[in-house]
C-alpha cells in the first residue's frame, strides 16, 4: 500500500474514533455527516456537532482532493503545470463552557506530480494546539506533556522544535499575541538521508493518536464549572481573535479557498457566537488579563 493510501485509510479511522469519543463526552448531541465531491477531483466527509451539552460547535473533517494545481498555488510553490493530491483530517472544537478550551488539530499529506504523473515532491504536515479562555496552567502542562511524549517516541529534538514553530505560526501579528497556549506545528516533513516517508508517517500518526489523551481529560475536568454571562462575554471576545487568525493567517484556510474546496467545510472552524468590542481591555489583575499576558509572552509548559 502506498503512503498516500495508507494515510488516507488512517485518517478515516481516526475520524471515527475522535467523533465517537466526543459524542460520548457530550452525551447529548451527535455529529451530522455530509459527504461531498469536488468538481475538479476528490471530495470529503464532513462531520459537525452543534448545540450540545458540552460542545457548542465542532467539526471533524477529512478530505482527499486531487487535480491540476491552481495557478495561485503554482506561484506559491514556485512550480509550473503541476498536479497534486492532498488528504488530511482537520478538526476544531468550540465548547460551550468558557472554562473549557477550544482545540484545533490537523494532520495532512501532500503529493505533487509532473505531467507524466511522477511524484516530484511529497510531505507531511500538521499539529495540535490549545486555545483557552481562562488559563489553567495544569491544563496547558498536560496538553504539552502529551505532545512531548508523542514526539519523544521518535526524536527528543522534535518537541522543542515543533513547539516553537507552533508558537511562531499561531501568532496574530496584527494583535502581537498568540492565538492560544500552543502545542505542536510541523510542515514539509520530507524524506532525506535520515528519515523515510514511512518514518514521517509513523511520527505523524503517533501525534494523531495522542490527540484524545491530550484533550479529553481537560474537558472532563472543566465542563461542569459554573460560569456567568461575563465569562461568556470574554469567551466570545477571545473567539473573535480566533476568527481573525483563521481568516487572515491560516494556511489551511487559504489553501482550501484557493483550490475550490468546500466552503462549509473550510469555514466550519468558525465559532457560532463571537464579539468584537472596540478597544477592549481586561481589568487590571483579572483572570482575563492573566491569560492575555501569557499569550503575549509564550512560555515553556513542560
Question: What digits encode the pLDDT tens for the residues 103-159?
Answer: 999 999 999 998 888 899 999 999 999 999 999 999 999 999 999 999 999 999 999
Global confidence as pTM:
0.94
Provide the grid cell at 179.
492565538
Total H helices, total E strands in the chain: 9, 9
CA distance 230 to 195: 50
Residue 201: inside a domain, yes or no? yes
Q: In the chain, what percentage of residues exceed pLDDT 90? A: 82
Work out how many domains the chain is built from and give that number: 1
Residue 76: inside a domain, yes or no? yes
60 contacts 16 by C-beta, under 8 angstroms: no
Q: Which of 28, 66, 94, 104 is catalytic?
A: 104
Helix or strand holding residue 137 (H, E) = helix 137-152
Domain of 129 in residue numbering reads as: 3-270+282-296
Provide the grid cell at 254.
487559504
Residue 277: inside a domain, yes or no? no
241 contacts 250 by C-beta, under 8 angstroms: no
Residue 275: inside a domain, yes or no? no
Residue 225: inside a domain, yes or no? yes
Residue 203: inside a domain, yes or no? yes
Strand positions, DSSP E, the chain: 32-37, 42-50, 55-68, 83-95, 102-113, 119-131, 171-172, 177-178, 182-189
Question: Which pLDDT tens digit goes with each residue over 28-55?
Answer: 999 999 999 989 999 999 999 999 999 9
With CA atoms as reference, report the closest residue to 8 among 204, 301, 259: 204
Residue 7: inside a domain, yes or no? yes
For cell 488559563, name the residue.
135
CA distance 219 to 212: 10
Residue 276: inside a domain, yes or no? no
Question: Which pLDDT tens digit goes with each residue over 231-252?
Answer: 999 999 999 999 999 898 887 7
**CATH code for position 265:** 3.40.1500.10
Active site residue 142: no
Amino acid at each position: 500500500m502506498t503512503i498516500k493510501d495508507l494515510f488516507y485509510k488512517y485518517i478515516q479511522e481516526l475520524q471515527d474514533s475522535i467523533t465517537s469519543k466526543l459524542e460520548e463526552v457530550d452525551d447529548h448531541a451527535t455529529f451530522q455527516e455530509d459527504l461531498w465531491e469536488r468538481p475538479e477531483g476528490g471530495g470529503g466527509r464532513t462531520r459537525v456537532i452543534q448545540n450540545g451539552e458540552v460542545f457548542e460547535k465542532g467539526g471533524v473533517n477529512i478530505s482527499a482532493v486531487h487535480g491540476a494545481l491552481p495557478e495561485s498555488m503554482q506561484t506559491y510553490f514556485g512550480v509550473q503545470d503541476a498536479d497534486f493530491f492532498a488528504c488530511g483530517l482537520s478538526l476544531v472544537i468550540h465548547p460551550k463552557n468558557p472554562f473549557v478550551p477550544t482545540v484545533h488539530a490537523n494532520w495532512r499529506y501532500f503529493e505533487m506530480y509532473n505531467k507524466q504523473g511522477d511524484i516530484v515532491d511529497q510531505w507531511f504536515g500538521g499539529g495540535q494546539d490549545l486555545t483557552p479562555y481562562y488559563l489553567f496552567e495544569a491544563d496547558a502542562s498536560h496538553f504539552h506533556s502529551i505532545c512531548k511524549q508523542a514526539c519523544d517516541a521518535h526524536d527528543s529534538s522534535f518537541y522543542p522544535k515543533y513547539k516553537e514553530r507552533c508558537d511562531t505560526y499561531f501568532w496574530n501579528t496584527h494583535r502581537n499575541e498568540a492565538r492560544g497556549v500552543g502545542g505542536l506545528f510541523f510542515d514539509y516533513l520530507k524524506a532525506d538521508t535520515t528519515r523515510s516517508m514511512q518514518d514521517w508517517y509513523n511520527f505523524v500518526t503517533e501525534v494523531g493518536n495522542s490527540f484524545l489523551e491530550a484533550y479529553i481529560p481537560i474537558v472532563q475536568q472543566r465542563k461542569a464549572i459554573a460560569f456567568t454571562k461575563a465569562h461568556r462575554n470574554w469567551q466570545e471576545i477571545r473567539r473573535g481573535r480566533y476568527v481573525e487568525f483563521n481568516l487572515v493567517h491560516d494556511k489551511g484556510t487559504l489553501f482550501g479557498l484557493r483550490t475550490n474546496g468546500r466552503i462549509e467545510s473550510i469555514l466550519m472552524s468558525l465559532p457560532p457566537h463571537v464579539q468584537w468590542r472596540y478597544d477592549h481591555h481586561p481589568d487590571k489583575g483579572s483572570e482575563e488579563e492573566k491569560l492575555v499576558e501569557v499569550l503575549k509572552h509564550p512560555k515553556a509548559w513542560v
